[in-house]
A and B are shown apart, each in its own frame.
Chain A
Amino acid sequence: MSITDIENEIVEEFEIFGQDWEAKYEHLIDLGKSLPVIKEERKTEDKLIKGCQSRVWLDSEKKNDKIFFTADSDAIITKGMVALMIRVLNGQGAKDIIESKLEFINKIGLKEHLSPTRANGLVSMINRMKMDALTLSK
């Protein structure tokens, strides 16, 4: 599936929550819980995205010209957001990842998590995903 297809799928899934933000956040928390954790020994300094209240670790690799991510966070809501990003970008080509706009976040009403003042490291994580994709594609 293309990035846009997955984004649309997520938007559709989130439609059932409507205005019920509590249900939406409960879902986000469940997503966070279901995201596989990175093994402690792999949570090294170079994988840590710094400068945030909640810490985010990102590990990227290339298999058959596709980019794959593993990520973790110590805050569960952040981790839920991380899970969504990974679902959208995992296994895609570098060029598509770099050019992705990730507008689904706005459409599912979670745009506030990308505001630079949120201090949750998501903006930095997306930037890092794109940077890693670029580096790995070379």
Chain B
Amino acid sequence: MITQKSEHIKLDTELIRKDFPILNRSINNFPLIYFDNGATTQKPNQVIEAITNYYSNTNSNIHRGVHTLSREATEAFEVARKTIASHFKIKNEQQLIFTSGTTDSLNIISAGLSRSVLKNGDEIILSSYEHHSNILTWQLWAGENNGKLKIIPLKNDHSLDYEALEKLITPKTKIIAITHVSNTLGLVTDLTQIKAIAKKHNLIIVVDGAQSAPHMEVDLTELDVDFFVCSAHKIYGPTGTGILYMSEKWLRALPTTKPGGGTIKTVSFEKTEYAEGALRFEAGTPNIEGVIGFAAAINYLNRWGMKIIHEYELGLVNYAQYKLSEIPEVIVYGQSTNKAAVISFNVKDVHPFDVGTLLDKYGIAVRTGHHCTQPLMAILCVPGTVRISFAIYNTKTEIDFFIEKLKKVISMLK
């Protein structure tokens, strides 16, 4: 078991930036300023090297061979599971299932629940700011089973209306599937309130942690929800890898809906006995280098620990939000201070696409569009927003440059 150091080193962005080779790139003759971390983060050398090292020295299929390489690869894979489980404070590492990402995890959960818990006509509660990934899979089920999606509305400050939530619940309500941090607004969902209500009505809680896991400490033992999912690529790890955490109860109870090699104990043409624990859900050859790279990313972050990272990034968000508030033409969505490292804004009477196009000319990578939250865009009555999202390698100097260029862009477009 890899233990975490309790003494964390100070977060020094100048040193951190040296670990990310891509930050040396220039875009349109400007140094790259990467503010699209909500979509995916850049990868440090430690992750890149872990993957190269795996392919150069260990590559082999896991859980199968008797030979040395296969043993080593299996060991590396299972050490990675322990590392990541310990990071998220998961007691039994079997509760940590590797998937191809958040979307895959959500699909596995909804497929399993639809074959066990959900009955014709049941209801599922979602929030107004869900990512499409946490809407579509439930909507698909609802469409085929007379089901209903009920949506927690937003208050004027764009935070969730928790009081309205309880009124949505009926005896047919079975699940509340909710994002921990809105990928568009950066707002943090108050899971304590959600949990209190859900426990009272005996609802299953599914948490989409795609945007919380990169920015804050997530203690899954303390959080104590039924399911929690996230993607490695948004946490400095490789693409195509994610996790699906489930409570001990669901680890035993969730039906297998995605069977395949690796998930079994014995197979005959008549009957199959499935494996126990995480393996039952990990069909086919997994993304081995992805999992190993993910563990390298987690080890990298734990040099500082998520508390320090969260504080640092919160400093960036507050600074950027303050600077944006000084520009009269800018509208920031989701004004609350309870935010993770994401800010969405628009310039009055200007299409976000124009802002993004011109910022790119200055080497600044931002996201524009609906951010896979079209229902939220409809609620906000905008075609899209400009989104900036931060990571540990971003700095106030970058924010200053961004603000300066944003002002220039506004003057060009007005």
- A: residues with CB less than 8 A from B are 21-22, 25-26, 29, 53-55, 74-78, 119-120
Contact for B383 among A29, A74, A78, A120, CB less than 8 A: A74
B44 at the interface (CB under 8 A from A): no
A26: nearest chain-B partner, CB-CB = B412
| Distance between Cα atoms of A21 and B29 in the complex (Å) | 12
Sample 6 A-B pairs with CB under 8 A, ordered by A number.
A22-B412, A29-B413, A53-B352, A53-B384, A54-B351, A77-B358
A residues near B413, Cβ cutoff 8 Å: 29, 76
In this complex, which of B28, B350, B413 has the most chain A Cβ atoms within 10 angstroms of its Cβ? B413
Q: Is the CB of B358 within 8 A of A54?
A: no
Tally chain B residues at the interface, Cβ within 8 Å.
15
B122 in the interface (beta carbon within 8 A):
no
Residue of A nearest to B369 (CB): A53
Interface residues of B, Cβ cutoff 8 Å to A: 28, 350-354, 357-358, 361, 368-369, 383-384, 412-413
Indicate if the CB atoms of A76 and B369 lie closer than 8 Å.
no
A26, A55, A75, A78 pick with most chain B CB within 10 angstroms = A75
**Which residue from B350, B368, B412 sits with its C-beta under 8 Å from A25?**
B412
| Contact with A78, one of B28, B353, B358 (Cβ below 8 angstroms) | B353
Tell me which residues across on chain A come within 8 A of B361, comparing CB atoms. Answer: 21-22, 25
B353–A25 CB distance below 8 A:
no
**B351 close to A75 (CB less than 8 A):** yes
- CB pair A76–B354 under 8 Å, yes or no, is yes
A29–B355 alpha-carbon span in the complex (Å):
12
**In the assembled complex, which residues on chain A have CB atoms less than 8 Å from the CB atom of B358?**
25, 77
Contact A76 B350 (CB under 8 A): yes
Q: How far is the CB of A62 from chain B (nearest CB, A)?
A: 31
Known: A74-B351, A76-B351, A78-B353. A53 touches B368 (CB 8 A): yes
Separation in Å of the B337 CB from the closest CB of chain A?
30
The CA of A75 and the CA of B358, in the complex, are separated in Å by 12
Q: Bound state CA distance, A29 and B361, in angstroms?
A: 15
Residues of B within 8 A of A76 (CB): 350-351, 354, 413
Most chain B CB within 10 A, of A26, A55, A77, is at A77
Quote the shortest CB–CB distance from B174 to chain A (angstroms). Answer: 35
Q: What's the Cα separation between A54 and B353 when bound, in Å?
A: 7
Residues of A within 8 A of B28 (CB): 21
- Can you name the residue of chain B whose Cβ is closest to the Cβ of A73? B351
Enumerate chain A residues within 8 angstroms of B350, measured Cβ to Cβ.
76
| Contacts known (A25-B361, A74-B383, A119-B369); A53 close to B353, Cβ less than 8 A | yes
Shortest distance from the beta carbon of A51 to any chain B beta carbon, whole Å: 12
For A54, what are the chain B residues with a Cβ–Cβ distance below 8 Å?
351, 353-354
Q: Closest chain A residue to B411 by CB distance? A: A26
Q: Is B353 a contact of A75 with CB atoms below 8 Å?
A: yes
Query: What is the bound-complex CA distance between A74 and B382, given in angstroms?
Result: 12
A78 (CB) vs chain B CBs: closest residue: B353
The CB with the most chain B CB atoms within 10 A, among A29, A53, A120, is that of A53
Are A77 and B354 touching (Cβ within 8 A)? yes
Contacts of B384 in A (CB 8 A): 53
- Is the beta-carbon distance between A75 and B412 smaller than 8 angstroms? no
How distant is B352 from chain A, measured CB to nearest CB, in Å?
8
CB distance from A64 to the nearest CB of B (A): 36
With the chains together, A75 CA to B384 CA distance in Å? 11
Q: How far is the CA of A74 from the CA of B352 in the complex (A)?
A: 10
Query: How distant is the Cα of A54 from the Cα of B370 in the complex, in angstroms?
Result: 11
Q: A73 to B122, alpha carbons, bound, how many Å?
A: 43
Give the Cβ gap from A26 to chain B, nearest Cβ, in Å: 6
The CA of A79 and the CA of B413, in the complex, are separated in Å by 12
Cα–Cα distance between A114 and B306 once the two chains are bound (Å): 42
A35 to chain B, nearest CB (A): 14
Distance in angstroms from B372 CB to nearest chain A CB is 13
| Closest residue of B by beta carbon distance from A118 | B357
Chain A residues, Cβ within 8 Å of B383: 53, 55, 74
A120: chain B residues within 8 A (beta carbon): 353, 357
Give the distance in Å from the alpha carbon of A120 to the alpha carbon of B357 in the complex: 10
In the A-B complex, the 4 residue pairs with the closest CB atoms: A75-B351, A75-B353, A54-B353, A53-B369
